[in-house]
Amino acid sequence: MGLVTKEQNLLNSPNCFKTDFMLAQGTGTMPTINGFVTGLADAGIYPNSQPESYKTKYGTGIGSVMKALGYRTVFWYGGFEAWQDIKQFTLSQNFDEFYCAGDFQYEGGNSWGCPDEILFKYVEKYIAEEKDERIFHIILTTSNHPPYNIDVASKGFPKEEIKQKLPDSLGSDEETLNEMGHIWYVDQSMGNFIEKVEADKPDTLFVITGDHAERFDFAQEVDLKTLSAVPCIFYGKNVDKDLLADNKVGCHLQIISTLAEMAGKKGDTYSSIWPSLFEYNGIVFNHRLWTDTEKIYKINSEIPNTLANKIKAARQLTAWRVLRGNDIQ
């Protein structure tokens, strides 16, 4: 339909690989951030609200993994630091720096934070001023979120063109078109950022995913895959599109281990409870779903025993580590 032309350009590049579909860590933003920051499976616990998360560092978290590989770590958030205590949480978990909407000058925005283009502008400026230091950035945007109050028409959203391409299964009312306009806007903002950074730092590796998918759907009827999957795209100069099979599936925690293997040097090691996308092509799971290369299923009594035991073990490990700490005595 022309909503995500920048993303499509990446997917058409030989320097890109993607999963067929990926399971998000949870149904909301914070469960997913908890997953990346801790590297632990979802166990119905919010690690960012637990005292242990501010006393010791999770060795499986993405900040810990990247620092062990020799990277400086920076967390960028388009919202505000008080939300879910995200600033103190990330700084406690091996992120060296944290920046958010409260650190930027901008017009517009809403209660969730600044427009994506503002966030990317500040990240771009930081990257342009980098010296030879190896730096890992994680960027959490906010514009694809209610109240959808960005003036997307002024940004160039081709509403009438998109409207003409809509299938019968999608509504064409103004509210729906405005939400689609915000999808277009975040794609443009992200794509423009990637193009600028790539031109300045051609060796940069980009990883793109979504925090959750279940709430955002315009069709009247969708399958579980459409309702639950999020994208996972690796793009950069040294990426080969043939590294992953076309039917590859995965879960969010595998991004950490995959990134470690791509960004690390020969002989480097990392800690993870889940193998990389390169090493594993079996069943994966999240808080309520599991999947193979054929279909997404709900976790229920019909789940294979071996997988049920894996899920139980992963959740018990998370609960112990988050609630009791690093002592197994």
User: What one-letter code names the amino acid at 186?
Assistant: V
Residue 84 domain flag: yes
Tell me the pLDDT tens digit for each residue of 230-272.
Answer: 999 999 999 999 999 988 999 999 999 999 999 999 999 999 9
Mean local confidence (pLDDT), 14-40: 95
Residue 302 domain flag: yes
How many angstroms separate the CA atoms of 42 and 25, rounded?
7
Residue 329 domain flag: no
| Count of domains forming the chain | 1
Quickly state the pLDDT bin for 227 (edges 50, 70, 90): confident
How many angstroms separate the CA atoms of 28 and 84, rounded?
12
pLDDT at residue 147 in the model: 95
Return the structure tokens found at 280: 């594993």
Residue 137 domain flag: yes
Quickly state the pLDDT bin for 142 (edges 50, 70, 90): very high
**CB contact set of 119 (below 8 Å; sequence gap of 6+):** 76, 77, 78, 101, 104, 113, 139, 141, 142
Residue 130 domain flag: yes
Tell me the pLDDT tens digit for each residue of 299-308.
Answer: 987 788 988 9
Could you give the residue ranges of the DSSP H alpha helices within 213-273? 224-228, 253-263
**CB contact set of 317 (below 8 Å; sequence gap of 6+):** 40, 41, 273
Quickly state the pLDDT bin for 283 (edges 50, 70, 90): confident
Question: What's CA 163's distance to the chain center, in Å?
Answer: 29
Quickly state the pLDDT bin for 171 (edges 50, 70, 90): confident
Residue 228 domain flag: yes
Integer-rounded Cα Rg, in Å, for the chain is 20
Q: What are the DSSP calls for 101-149, one per residue?
A: GGGS--S--BTTB--HHHHHHHHHHHHHT--S--EEEEEE--SSSTT--
Quickly state the pLDDT bin for 220 (edges 50, 70, 90): low
**CB contact set of 176 (below 8 Å; sequence gap of 6+):** 170, 218
Q: What is the pLDDT of the chain when averaged over all its residues?
A: 93
pLDDT at residue 50 in the model: 98
Mean local confidence (pLDDT), 140-155: 96
| pTM of the predicted model as reported, rounded to 2 decimal places | 0.96
Q: What residues make up the domain containing 179?
A: 5-324
pLDDT at residue 253 in the model: 96
Mean local confidence (pLDDT), 318-325: 96
Q: Exposure pattern of 282-311 as b/e (b: 16+ CB <10 Å)?
A: ebbbbbebbbeeeebbeeeeebeeebbebb
**CATH code for the domain of 124:** 3.40.720.10
pLDDT at residue 14 in the model: 97
pLDDT at residue 329 in the model: 63
